[in-house]
Structure 1
């Protein structure tokens, strides 16, 4: 949120304080606390519901992609039929990717800086595990920092 303010006003205004010695960034953090709590609850509720649907879809897609269509017949079929056989595998990749995205939303810290970034649109479809590692990297960095330091810093510093 602070970055939007910094774009709108001259740079020297962002470090100034009001009569109570509060900076504009601190005012926004305090005034948007309730909004952030509501958004966190909504994100959690939506991600939980959507992850259940994505898990069911992944299970059905896995069963459909591993089933031999047409039985044990060795005839490969027409090219259109072969293309149709690839659709459950594509559905499995998409549902696993969406499941990983929902799980990364559930495990996020839900701080102000987490709401400043958008979810990625261009997803690596065939590498959902890589996507999960990329989305969870800040959490692991904070964990290592907390383990190695005597007095852990706040994660927004």
Structure 2
């Protein structure tokens, strides 16, 4: 639907301005004809966006719940005298703290973006920029939150293993990130198409009408 809108805008800008105000034999303007002929496509796009947003919002909500519980947990506990974390000076603890905060913030952001899509009015003009931008922000935040959650898990688990087992755990951590990498690679073409179409008309390279 977004590509159809971009094509309509390109054609409208490529012809003399007076033609765009003319009506056909049925008394319909070009905008009315476009809306009438793209009702089914707009419905399919709406259904796909709602289904995708509902699925992703469930994942974002789960990550937000886990990240909130993780942000309140302190690996190794705290000192009785000062209440500061025992592993405060270790780099792994700093990574754990930052990654848990990132997972919480970006998962909540993704959840808000997907809920904004679900509650959208789904008007024709929304498919041009509004909905694609929300979808891009939702996908980006979801991917960052998943990556941050994995980093948080790996660094938190790092405190539980001994020095002799830490090198053996590295391949396991890499395998844990492998399914997420496959999912991100599968969604990468859609992500690129959304970026190209949202912020630039894909038909700009074509020649326009010249008076």
TM-score by length of 1: 0.71
Report if aligned partners of 1:17, 1:24 keep a CA contact under 8 Å in 2: yes
Cα distance in 2, alignment partners of residues 122 and 46 from structure 1: 14
Alignment match of 2:34 (pick from 15, 28, 49): 28
Partner of 1:14: 20
Determine whether 1:100 maps to 2:112.
Answer: yes
Aligned-residue Cα RMSD (Å) equals 2.0
Determine whether 1:79 maps to 2:91.
Answer: yes
Give the number of the structure with larger relative contact order, counting CA–CA contacts within 8 Å between residues 6 or more apart: 2
Question: Structure 1, residues 66-100: CA drift from partner, whole Å, max 9, x if none?
Answer: 11122123432323431332101101111000000
Specify whether residues 46 and 122 from structure 1 end up closer, same or farther in structure 2 by C-alpha distance, changes over 3 A only: closer
Report if aligned partners of 2:110, 2:137 keep a CA contact under 8 Å in 1: no
Q: How does 1:43-62 map to 2 (within 5 A)?
A: 43-62=49-68
Cα distance in 2, alignment partners of residues 105 and 90 from structure 1: 22
Q: CA deviation at 1:65?
A: 1.0
Determine whether 1:119 maps to 2:133.
Answer: yes
Report if aligned partners of 1:61, 1:91 keep a CA contact under 8 Å in 2: yes
Q: Which shows bigger deviation, 63-72 or 101-110?
A: 63-72
What are the ranges of 5 or more consecutive residues in structure 2 without an aligned counterpart?
142-211
Cα distance in 1, alignment partners of residues 72 and 16 from structure 2: 60
Q: CA deviation at 1:24?
A: 1.1
Runs of 4+ in structure 1 displaced over 3 angstroms?
2-5, 120-123
What are the ranges of 5 or more consecutive residues in structure 1 without an aligned counterpart?
126-157
TM-score by length of 2: 0.54
> Matched residue pairs, number?
124
